[in-house]
Structure 1
C-alpha cells in the first residue's frame, strides 16, 4: 500500500503505511524488509522537505545495508543522503556522498545510478565554481545516458551543461563566490512516473518498496 501511494505521489499516505509496516518487519527480524521501509520513509520525508527526518531514516537504512551486505541498497541510500545534503546547502558533504555512491554503482554495474551520480556531481562542483570538473562529470554522464537510453537524464545533463557554460561566462565577467549559481539541482525535478521505471530520481535504482 505504501509503494502504491508513493507511486501516486500521495506522500503522507505512503509515509503512514511505511511507518505501520516498519515495526512489523522489526518484530519478524526481517532486516531487508526493515531496510526497505526505512529507505522508503527517508525518500518520502525528503520529497516532502522533511530533511532532518529523511537523514535519520536514511542513516538507519544505510547501517542495515552495510550489515547485510546490500551493495545496491547502499549505493541508492548514499545517493539519497547526498541529495538531502545538497538540498540543505551542504555541498561539500553532498559531493563526498555522490562520489561514494558513484564508486559503488560502478562496482555493481548500475549504469543508471552511475549516470545520475555523474550528473549530480557536475551540478555540485559547478556550484562550487569548479567549471572544468563540472563539464567533465556532465559530459561523462551525457555519454553514458546516450548509451543506456535514459532520455530524461540526458536532457537534464544537456541543460546543466548549458547553465554551467553560461555561469562560467558570467563568472569571468563578474566573479562571484562559490555556490552562488543557479544550475539545476539534482533533487529539484523527478522524471514522469512510469510503471516498472528502472530508475527513481531519489533512489537511483528500482523501487524498494
Structure 2
C-alpha cells in the first residue's frame, strides 16, 4: 500500500496517494511498525505541502519527525525538518525557516547526506534573496550551485542559476547592467529544457522577456513573452500566462502612448502608424481594452482632419468594444 501510495504521489495523483498512504499508516500502526508509520506520515505531510495545505502538512511532518527521532532514524527526521523549514519560508516566516533549515543542514552533514545539505543551503540562499540580502544570497546560492554540480544534480544547478539570474536582474536593473543576468537565465533555461522541466524553462523565458522589456528592447521582449505565454497555456499555468499577457500589454501601451504623443503634437501620420500597430498587437494577445482605446484615438485623429466618415466608423467600433467589456467611461465616445 505504501509503495502504491508513493507511485500515485510521484504521478501527482494526490487523492489516490493520500488514500493509500493513510491506509498503509493504519496497517503499520496495527503491526507496531514505527518506521513505516513515520514514513507514511512524512509522505502525507509532503503531499499537503505540495498543495499549499501548510497547517495539515506541518502537523503530519512534526508527528513524523517525532517518530523518526524515537527510533533514531536521523535521515527521516532531517528530511522532516527540511520541509518544515520550507513551509515557514513559503509563509514568509523567515526566522523560523532559517532555524529549521540550519538544523536540518547540520543533521544532513553529520550523516553524510550531501543532497539534503545542499538543498538546505539553496533554501537559505533563497530566503536571503527574498529579504533583499543579496550578498549573502549570492554566496549561498553560488556555493549550492557548485555542490549540485559536484553531485551531478542538474535540477538543483538550474534552480540556483535561475535564482542568481533573478538576483542579478534586480541588482543590475538599477545599474542598467543585464549581461550577467541574461547569461545566468539562458543557462538555467537550457538546463531546465535538457532535464524536461517545462515549468522551470518557461519561467526563465518569462524573466528574459521582462529584462528585454526593461531595456526597451521591445521586439525581443515581445518574442520571449509571447513564447512564454503559449508555454504557460500548454502546461495549464493560467497565472503565468496572465503575467505574460500583462507585460505584453504594458509594451503595447508604451507603443500606443508614442502614438498619442504624435497625436497631441498634430503629427497625425506618425500617430496613426503607431496606433494601428499597437491595436494589431493588442488584438493578437486578445487585450480588448487596449485595442478599443487605440480605435478611439484613431477616430479622434480622423475627426481632427475632418475625415468624418472614417472617424464615425472608428468611434462606433470603439464604442461597441467598450460596451462589450463593460467600460462605461470609454463607451461615452
Judge same fold: TM > 0.5, yes or no: yes
Q: Quick check: 1:23 aligned with 2:70?
A: no
Query: How much does 1:192 deviate?
Result: 8.0
Aligned mates of 2:92, 2:206 — CA distance in 1: 24
Aligned mates of 1:158, 1:21 — CA distance in 2: 39
Task: For 1:116-127, list aligned pairs within 5 A.
Answer: 116-127=159-170
Task: For 1:1-209, list aligned pairs within 5 A.
Answer: 1-129=44-172, 130-169=177-216
Partner-residue secondary structure (3-state), 1:128: helix
Contact 1:95 1:125 in 2 (8 A): no
Aligned mates of 1:14, 1:143 — CA distance in 2: 33
Q: Deviations over 1:92-141 (max 9, x none)?
A: 21111111111111111111111111111111112111521111111111
Query: How much does 1:65 deviate?
Result: 1.3
Gaps of 5+ in 2: 1-43, 218-234, 238-333
Aligned mates of 1:26, 1:144 — CA distance in 2: 37
Query: In structure 2, do the counterparts of structure 1 residues 192 and 84 end up closer, same or farther at CA, with 3 Å as the change threshold?
Result: farther
Alignment length (residue pairs): 173
Higher Cα Rg, which structure? 2
Aligned mates of 2:153, 2:100 — CA distance in 1: 23
Query: How much does 1:55 deviate?
Result: 0.7
With a CA cutoff of 8 Å and minimum separation of 6, indicate the structure with the bigger relative contact order. Answer: 1
Give TM-score scaled by structure 1 length. 0.76
Aligned mates of 1:192, 1:7 — CA distance in 2: 17
Query: In structure 2, do the counterparts of structure 1 residues 192 and 114 end up closer, same or farther at CA, with 3 Å as the change threshold?
Result: farther
Query: How much does 1:74 deviate?
Result: 1.5
Partner-residue secondary structure (3-state), 2:52: coil
Query: In structure 2, do the counterparts of structure 1 residues 33 and 103 end up closer, same or farther at CA, with 3 Å as the change threshold?
Result: same
Aligned mates of 1:139, 1:12 — CA distance in 2: 37
Gaps of 5+ in 1: 171-190, 194-209
Aligned mates of 1:121, 1:5 — CA distance in 2: 29
